[in-house]
Amino acid sequence: MFYRDERLALFIDGSNLYAAAKALGFDIDYKLLRQEFMHRGKLLRAFYYTALLENDEYSPIRPLVDWLHYNGFTMVTKPAKEYTDSQGRRKVKGNMDIELTVNALELAPHVDHIVLFSGDGDFRPLVESLQRQGVRVSVVSTIRSQPPMIADELRRQADNFIELDELRDVVGRPPREPRDNGQELVREDS
């Protein structure tokens, strides 16, 4: 539940929200997401957290990060760490939990409601602390994927759970039409 006069802040765990939307089969339109929550209350801040690979020539997330930065989101980034695991596979680590937690606790005295876009159970103590400070907390994730993308303890702690799949029509990007390049598309019926 949202109240029109409440002060809102969005905290988006970028990799977690991306994974949840992908598991549901759609992409987030961040302009629509921001507009949706501007209608639900007085949106003071929209934070987006992500780690970036700095040594890559081109990072696929860089255009999104730049667009968000120029379109009303407060970007919080840090360099991702690359390492090789015990099986010799290249892995990337870039946890933003501490940065998100510190920012949420700092902003708590200035907001009435925080919307956390993450299903990470590590955020349960943060939600509990925010609630003790009088801030209502909504969590956006999904239980409709296999496996569910939200930790049960986080869902239980939140004042309100918002199923991401129910926001699909409001914040989802429309599916792209296949290109025909001047050629007629042929469909094969089975």
The string over 39-69, giving b where at least 16 C-beta atoms fall within 10 Å of a residue's C-beta and e elsewhere, is ebbbbebbbbbbbebeeeeeeebeebbeebe
| Three-state secondary structure call for residue 102 | helix
Domains along the chain? 7-81+91-171 (3.40.50.1010)
Q: What is the pLDDT along the chain (190 residues), one digit of tens a residue?
A: 899 999 999 999 999 999 999 999 999 999 999 999 999 999 999 999 998 877 666 677 888 999 999 999 999 998 888 788 888 887 777 889 999 999 999 999 999 999 999 999 999 999 999 999 999 999 999 999 999 999 999 999 999 999 999 999 999 987 665 555 444 444 444 4
